[in-house]
Chains A and B, each alone.
Chain A
Amino acid sequence: GNSVTQMEGPVTLSEEAFLTINCTYTATGYPSLFWYVQYPGEGLQLLLKATKADDKGSNKGFEATYRKETTSFHLEKGSVQVSDSAVYFCALSTYGQNFVFGPGTRLSVLP
């Protein structure tokens, strides 16, 4: 079945540091890939998505590129802020199947 693996957290960074959160997947067919963010006490919000190989999703300074050859969708940001502290979920979906979410990676950014 489909699955998503994310790097385990928590990840703790200083403000303005570079962020990478690794995500790899296993899927049948051609999945769409997503990153969601969950701020404390809130629901999940879509951060970015990519629907085909080599697509790059970007939003709020975050980027991720759909790499079919390595089955990866790593999340990056060049300079994190305290306000980026949240839990980040990688997810995929394929036609007719439920979303599959990774376990989430908690990010803490210190001033």
Chain B
Amino acid sequence: DTAVSQTPKYLVTQMGNDKSIKCEQNLGHDTMYWYKQDSKKFLKIMFSYNNKELIINETVPNRFSPKSPDKAHLNLHINSLELGDSAVYFCASSPEWVSSYEQYFGPGTRLTVT
């Protein structure tokens, strides 16, 4: 059973389009995250949700809008895609919003904007 799953795994689209990435976790965790990993493997936190509520919103363009319909799902919608949005996007979850718990990562979605 996959703990944290993401769809799609690959996404190729043109500039200006709108796309969504879905994430689901079956671990019963309260907290979920979106990260962006660039071509140099650098990881940047984008959003954190705890019990469906947004708790951290880093400096991300407002073209990116997360949505958490329930504790097990955190989707990412991106409007007006730009070339610089090309990256691998990872969803992650953790049991609670406290320090000693590790995060569990999904397999990633590789987004390519042409």
Interface residues of A (CB under 8 A from B): 30-32, 34, 36, 38, 42-46, 49, 51, 87, 89, 93-99, 101, 103-104, 106
Chain A CB count within 10 A is highest, among B58, B97, B100, B108, for B100
* Nearest CB of B to A95, in Å: 5
Contacting residue for A99 out of B40, B41, B45, B108, CB 8 A: B45
Q: Is the CB of B90 within 8 A of A44?
A: yes
Residues of A within 8 A of B48 (CB): 98
* B103 is an interface residue with CB less than 8 A from chain A: yes
Chain B interfacial residues counted at CB < 8 A: 23
Residue of chain A at shortest CB distance from B97: A96
Q: Is the CB of B41 within 8 A of A38?
A: yes
Residues of B within 8 A of A34 (CB): 102
Residues of B within 8 A of A31 (CB): 99
Residue of chain B at shortest CB distance from A93: B99
Residues of B within 8 A of A104 (CB): 41-43
Residues of B within 8 A of A36 (CB): 105
